[in-house]
Amino acid sequence: MNITADSVWLNCLKFVKDNIQPQAFKTWFEPIKAVKLADNVLSIEVPSKFFYEWLEEHYVKILKVSLQKSLGDEAKLVYVIKMENTFGNSQPFTEKIPSSNTSSFSVQNTTTPINRNIPELKNPFIIPGIKNVKVESQLNPNYTFENFLEGDSNRLARNAGIAVSNKPGGTSFNPFLIFGGVGLGKTHLANAIGIEIKKKYPEKTVLYTTAEKFTQQYIDAIKKNNRNDFIYFYQVIDTLIIDDIQFFSGKPGTQDVFFHIFNHLHQNGKQVVLTSDKAPVDMQDIELRLLSRFKWGLSAELQKPDFETRVSILKNKLYRDGIEMDDDIVNYVAKNIKTNVRELEGAIISLIAQASFNRKEINLSLAAEIIEKFVKNSKREISIDYIQKIVSDYFQMDIPTLQSKTRKRHIVQARQLAMFFAKKYTKASLASIGSQIGKRDHATVLHACKTVDNLSSTDKQFRKFVEDLGKKLSV
């Protein structure tokens, strides 16, 4: 009988199919092709390096047994990776890799260098598709331009966002950085841009992620020794949207890898959209070379919505939810909730919920009752600058004195309290807190927090400082 690569692989598939789940067989074995059989070495073609790594990690034993049944104990396996060239070259490139199971599958390494212009895509969000890597956009479908209402507070940012979505990478708004306080719509607008790009250019790869998630993925990549895979993955994104870029503060490793990814994307005409809680000029512990790139495009601020915009937002939400409400009640809510859109919508939801659960009529009296409680329970957005002001005023000193190098006891304690409350009330890193409060390092902030905890339990006067400042900051 004439033994061929196809016949050997067909026998292997029959054995494998009987021993694994049907869906797993369809996903990981049906796409494989046998390409060569020589000297008891079977070469099989797989569509990506990720595919090869998955087989080696999960199915190498069953492959070994199935191959030995056809070719004997000396059987060997080599993977031939064939990936389509996404950068315009007419020919795909290949790489040959022997199976790592050294007991029976080992052969002399015949690996050929990979053309590094072609990224070996390993999707950190989802398992790639079988033949083409598909990146899930991670966009929130509820955040669209249709329900991002325009007003004086957001007109520049919204219109610039529309321009970017009409021609991603083709405007001077690259990068496009959206900044502003909590609950003003940064995430909403960033998602709306991504959704519109996907609608207009379905072939483009759009990815939304947070700076925190990006950082964690980078840390994981370092631990698994696949930093290059991480970089190559991000470098093929057509529109990269990163939320809360200020999270990179004090993380030089993450900033360095993002710097190289950003440069590659920008040079290749790809769009970058960023959001931050502050303008580039006010960012702390971000490398100057990165800040300079943030300033290449457009930075647009989202401000607190004015009264007319707040009314429009409320009416739009009521319309979308199919709820009718008198204008005087809507105006009352809009007049009394001025902080941000999130709290504005939260207040109207609370009002509707109370009326529904308690079978009460929605009137001005109920609105006043709900708004009073809502405002009282809503936490103020607290910045490190605000904390320093409250602490320095409490101890009757100016902020430069609070931040100074002096070792006078009362000033040191005031500075430590500022660091303690900055850690408690903000999301800033220890390094960022230290940098903003007198250019200290993260170890100084950590020591300050421990000192405040210790003194609070042993010093009655110091405990009063903590209680008084806590009340002032939680008002």
pLDDT at 124 over 60: no
Mean pLDDT of 413-438: 89
3-state secondary structure of 200: helix
Question: What is the rounded distance in angstroms from the CA atom of residue 177 to the CA atom of residue 261?
Answer: 16
pLDDT at 131 over 70: no
Mean pLDDT of 28-48: 86
Model pLDDT for residues 154-183, shown as the tens digit of each residue:
888 888 899 999 989 888 888 899 888 777
**pLDDT reported for residue 381:** 57
**pLDDT reported for residue 116:** 29
Placement of tokens 């029976």 in the chain: 104
> Beta strand 176-180 with 93-98: parallel, antiparallel or unpaired?
unpaired
- How would you label 344-365 residue by residue, b for 16+ Cβ within 10 Å and e otherwise? bbebbebbbebbeeeeeebeee
Mean pLDDT of 96-113: 40
pLDDT at 456 over 60: yes
**pLDDT reported for residue 180:** 83
Write the DSSP symbol of residue 34: E
For the chain, helix (H) and strand (E) counts, in that order, are 20, 9
**pLDDT reported for residue 417:** 95
**pLDDT reported for residue 197:** 93
* Among the ranges given (127-141, 171-185, 270-284, 313-327), the one the predictor scored with the smallest mean pLDDT: 127-141
Half-sphere exposure of 172 (CA within 13 A, CB side): 2
**pLDDT reported for residue 89:** 35
pTM over 0.85: no
Write the DSSP symbol of residue 304: P
Mean pLDDT of 426-448: 87
Model pLDDT for residues 55-99, shown as the tens digit of each residue:
877 788 888 888 888 888 888 888 887 643 333 333 334 445 555
**pLDDT reported for residue 376:** 53
Question: What is the rounded distance in angstroms from the CA atom of residue 234 to the CA atom of residue 237?
Answer: 6
Mean pLDDT of 379-395: 83
User: Crossing angle of helices 307-320/327-336, nearest 10°?
Assistant: 130
**pLDDT reported for residue 115:** 32
Question: What is the rounded distance in angstroms from the CA atom of residue 418 to the CA atom of residue 454?
Answer: 16
Q: Is 435:444 a contact under the CB 8 Å cutoff?
A: no
Domains and CATH numbers, the chain: 5-98 (3.30.300.180), 155-302 (3.40.50.300), 307-377 (1.10.8.60), 384-473 (1.10.1750.10)
**pLDDT reported for residue 25:** 83
Q: Is residue 98 reached through a cis peptide bond, with omega within 30 degrees of 0 on the bond before it?
A: no
Model pLDDT for residues 215-254, shown as the tens digit of each residue:
888 888 888 887 877 888 888 889 999 998 888 888 888 8
**Token output for 185:** 């719509």
Question: What is the rounded distance in angstroms from the CA atom of residue 157 to the CA atom of residue 145?
Answer: 12
Q: Please give the C-alpha separations between residue 153 and each of 119, 146, 181, 308, 344, in angstroms, as whole numbers.
A: 42, 17, 12, 11, 15
* Among the ranges given (12-21, 200-209, 283-292, 431-440), the one the predictor scored with the smallest mean pLDDT: 283-292
**pLDDT reported for residue 118:** 30
**pLDDT reported for residue 475:** 57
- What is the percentage of the chain residues whose pLDDT exceeds 70? 83
pLDDT at 280 over 90: no
- Residue, of 46 and 106, whose pLDDT is higher: 46
Q: Please give the C-alpha separations between residue 331 and each of 328, 336, 376, in angstroms, as whole numbers.
A: 5, 9, 19
pLDDT at 39 over 90: no
Within 8 A by CB and 6+ apart from 36, the residues are: 5, 42, 43, 80
**pLDDT reported for residue 82:** 61
Q: Residue 243's closest CA among 138, 387, 365?
A: 138
Within 8 A by CB and 6+ apart from 451, the residues are: 416
Question: What is the rounded distance in angstroms from the CA atom of residue 192 to the CA atom of residue 293?
Answer: 23
